[in-house]
Structures are given as structure tokens and as C-alpha cells.
Chains A and B, each alone.
Chain A
């Protein structure tokens, strides 16, 4: 079946603009994760969804970042008033149930460039 998809694949924006990044998880996966991969910083956890709820938002770097998930499926990560340090690849992953033994399936990522 289809894997995790993300859109857009690339996004270039100007400093101060808002952006929305979309993730479509694998059908039937209740757990969804957002990560960020910055040059020289490696991967960082941002937020975890179980269904439409976000029990762990501990990785969101500031209140400019927010995320929601609707219908237990699609998720949107919104970054308001973007800054140059927000430039990174934003990755989404999903897993069947969120158990620690579950395999996470990663999307291809959205490369965000803030000019």
C-alpha cells in the first residue's frame, strides 16, 4: 500500500511568513510523529499524535510552531512568522499504534528554506 506522504516536497518562503506542512500517514496508523532535521543538528522530535490528540508536544521549539491532526489521519504542522533558523527538512512518520515496539514509517520530508 501507499507509504507516508508529505507535501509540499520543497517550500521556499520569506522571513516572517506563515507556512503549513502536510502529512498523510499510512492508512490505519493511529500514531503520527513530526521531526525536524537541520544541517549539523541531526534529527529532533517535535510532536506525537495518538489519534487526534497530542500527548507529547515537548519538542516544539517555540509557540510559533503548532500542529493538528484531523479524522485520525492527515496532520498539518504550522510555523508562524518563520525565521531563518526554521530552515530544515521536516519529516513525518507514522506507526500502527504508538507502542514502543512499533516500527515507524517515515515520509520523504518537506525541505523548508526561509530566506
Chain B
């Protein structure tokens, strides 16, 4: 069964802390996306990865294809980073379908 697991489900941090959110998937993929959803707000695509590492500002995303695992890191976290972070993968052979993790609710306190 093609599954995507995220951890932790909930994460509370103090402003300035380094944050890591994890995503594991069950079988081979062609692409992995990290998405951000603010409370009551829309969804924004942060990264698309098929290998290696990408960085955008304070956000870093890595993927290990052999271990079927990806991490999203936030350096120097800020209250405005508070949101739900969602991992989504395109499994090989699934055409255009994205399969989503259940999301990680991040709360950064000042």
C-alpha cells in the first residue's frame, strides 16, 4: 500500500529554535513536495524534491531516496512559521496523483 507518514503530528517550539519535521514513504517515488498551510489560509508549495537538498531562506528540505525519507528544517524559527506542514509524494507509476501525509501542526511561541 502506498503510504506517507509524517512525524511529529504536533510540534511546539520557542522562537529561535531549530525545527525538524520528518516524512517517510512506503515505496519508490518520482517526486516529493513540502506544502505549508496557515490556519484558515491557503496552501503554498514550499519545495519539490526528487533528490538531494534544497534551501530557501530559513527553510531547508532534504531527501534520502534509499531510505525513503525526507526532512523539512526551519532555522531560527519565528511565530509566523506557525502552520501545518504537509508532505506529499508522487509514487512511481501513479501518474499524476499526489498522496499526502496527515500534516504536522507547528506552533512557534514568542
Contacts and interface: CB of A to CB of B under 8 A. Distances in A.
Interface of A: 31, 33, 35, 42-45, 48, 55-56, 58-59, 91, 93, 98, 100-109
B96 A43 contact: no
Given A100-B50, A101-B50, A104-B33, A58 B45 contact: no
Contacts of B98: 33, 35, 43, 45
A43 B45 contact: no
B106 to A, nearest CB: 16
Nearest to B46: A103
Main secondary structure of the interface of B (DSSP, over half): strand
A102 B30 CA distance: 12
Contact of A106 (B43, B48, B102): B43
Q: Is the interface of A mostly helix, strand, loop or mixed?
A: strand
A67 to B, nearest CB: 14
Given A55-B95, A106-B43, A101 B48 contact: yes
Interface residues of B, number: 23
Contact of B97 (A31, A42, A45, A104): A45
Interface of B: 30-31, 33, 35, 41-45, 48, 50, 86, 88, 90, 95-103
Contacts of A108: 41-42
17 contacts: A31-B96, A33-B98, A42-B100, A42-B102, A43-B86, A43-B88, A43-B98, A45-B98, A45-B99, A45-B100, A48-B95, A48-B96, A58-B97, A100-B48, A101-B48, A101-B50, A107-B42
Given A42-B102, A48-B95, A56-B96, A101 B45 contact: no
